[in-house]
Homo-oligomer: A and B are copies of this chain.
Amino acid sequence: TPTFRIALIAGDGIGKEVMPEGLRVVQAAAERFGFELDCRTIDWASCDYHAQHGQMMPDDWKEQLQGVDALYFGAVGWPATVPDHVSLWGSLLKFRREFDQYINLRPVRLFEGVPCPLAGRRPGDIDYVVVRENTEGEYTSLGGVMYEGTEREIVIQESVFSRHGTDRVLRYACELANSRARKHLTVATKSNGIAISMPWWDGRADAIGRDYPEVTVDKQHIDILSARFVLQPTRFDVVVASNLFGDILSDLGPATTGTIGLAPSANLNPERRFPSLFEPVHGSAPDIYGQNIANPIAMIWSGALMLDFLTQGQGAGRAAHDAILGAIEAVLRDGPRTRDLGGTASTTELGMAIAERV
């Protein structure tokens, strides 16, 4: 049996509650489809760990993760004790960068049984995937403050785009669009306002797009693109965006499907030189932690993406992914439901219901 080594990082808050359910379901799928998950629990990359050690991870975190195929990740952040930028730059964002997980894949889909906040939209109307650049762009700590603490204070913040980093995400998105029925790619930009990086980004989109004559490439400014996620969601198939724009679109998209509590994400190093990371889009939600009421579906769906990626090219992973997705669909349609979707089921009950169906 093919075996995959998984590091389980629950992190903070509801990350700790949804992790066991995610694991329950991926284990069930592994059993059914004949592969093995060799799992190891890791307590770092959490604010608890920070409380004890004054940092988010041990110095040798990279060595400790050697040989691991994937990180299955809950959520990080506990602002009451560690400021968000410290906890995030010390764990999640570090993984994304140092493991070169340059693709952040975020499917957006409206399910039967989930009330849609958009009037008159039905399952099938909203079904696209956001491909977010995940290692550079607007997320940097480059820049600084001049005349600090005075009235004349000036702050410079730098964004960095490399051709290497830009071309590969554009190419990934083109390949993905090319593999889908509609072959439609939306490129998020803001070249009319952000005058250096974005016109250049447009140029790279043109250059890469030329290699995919069958893909329709549609560039849209982020302002009107956000509006169209609400007004014309059916027009989207694959959407590629910079780090920041992808962050915004991949919260906004799920919101139009009823809740960001369902949205999964795959942080991929497609070349498999480093482990990839799979996590819900939602955060650690301190406000609902401790009650076992969090919806574990985003975690479970992220697990499905993990199995699919790990076994790519082998039928079993795709089948496991589809079985989990099918179980999620069935539970969303028929219940049980967690509180966020109007039910009373606990996190655990939901995980068990989905695992059973798998």
Quick one: which of B89, B154, B228, B244 contacts A255, CB cutoff 8 A? Answer: B228
CB of A60 within 8 A of chain B?
no
Quick one: which of B144, B155, B191, B259 contacts A84, CB cutoff 8 A? Answer: B191
Q: Is the CB of B244 within 8 A of A230?
A: no
Q: Is the CB of B162 within 8 A of A159?
A: no
Chain B residues lying within 8 Å of A158, measured Cβ to Cβ, are 143, 156-159, 196
Most buried by B among A115, A157, A256, A260: A157
Number of contacting residues on A, CB 8 A?
Answer: 66
CB of A80 within 8 A of chain B?
no
Please judge, given known A-B contacts A118-B117, A255-B226, A255-B231, whether A88 and B152 are in contact too, CB under 8 Å: no
CB of A163 within 8 A of chain B?
yes
Binds B, one of A12-20, A133-141, A311-319, A348-356: A133-141
Q: Which of A168-227 contact B (CB under 8 A)?
A: 190-200, 222-224, 226-227
Please judge, given known A-B contacts A227-B254, A252-B252, whether A193 and B244 are in contact too, CB under 8 Å: yes
Q: Measured between C-beta atoms, what is the minimum distance from A193 to chain B in Å? A: 5
> How far, in angstroms, from A244 to B196 measured CA to CA in the complex?
14
Q: Is the CB of B155 within 8 A of A196?
A: yes
Q: Measured between C-beta atoms, what is the minimum distance from A249 to chain B in Å? A: 8
> How far, in angstroms, from A246 to B199 measured CA to CA in the complex?
20
> How far, in angstroms, from A153 to B142 measured CA to CA in the complex?
18
CB of A273 within 8 A of chain B?
no
> How far, in angstroms, from A315 to B92 measured CA to CA in the complex?
55
Chain B residues lying within 8 Å of A197, measured Cβ to Cβ, are 143, 155-157
CB of A160 within 8 A of chain B?
yes
Quick one: which of B138, B142, B150, B224 contacts A193, CB cutoff 8 A? Answer: B138
Q: Is the CB of A85 within 8 A of B230?
A: no
> How far, in angstroms, from A224 to B251 measured CA to CA in the complex?
6
> How far, in angstroms, from A355 to B195 measured CA to CA in the complex?
40
CB of A116 within 8 A of chain B?
yes
CB of A289 within 8 A of chain B?
no
Please judge, given known A-B contacts A119-B119, A231-B117, whether A156 and B226 are in contact too, CB under 8 Å: no
Q: Measured between C-beta atoms, what is the minimum distance from A7 to chain B in Å? A: 23
> How far, in angstroms, from A118 to B85 measured CA to CA in the complex?
33
CB of A55 within 8 A of chain B?
no
Please judge, given known A-B contacts A138-B194, A226-B252, whether A159 and B161 are in contact too, CB under 8 Å: no
Q: Is the CB of B155 within 8 A of A117?
A: no
Quick one: which of B139, B156, B200, B222 contacts A195, CB cutoff 8 A? Answer: B139
Chain B residues lying within 8 Å of A164, measured Cβ to Cβ, are 151-152
Chain B residues lying within 8 Å of A162, measured Cβ to Cβ, are 152-155
Q: Is the CB of A156 within 8 A of B196?
A: yes
Most buried by B among A119, A191, A199, A223: A223
Chain B residues lying within 8 Å of A227, measured Cβ to Cβ, are 251-252, 254-255, 260
Q: Which of A99-147 contact B (CB under 8 A)?
A: 115-120, 138-145
> How far, in angstroms, from A243 to B222 measured CA to CA in the complex?
13
Chain B residues lying within 8 Å of A243, measured Cβ to Cβ, are 193
Q: Measured between C-beta atoms, what is the minimum distance from A291 to chain B in Å? A: 21
CB of A93 within 8 A of chain B?
yes
Known: A143-B197, A227-B251. 12 other contacts (CB 8 A): A77-B192, A118-B119, A140-B196, A141-B196, A150-B163, A157-B194, A158-B196, A193-B244, A223-B247, A224-B251, A231-B255, A231-B259
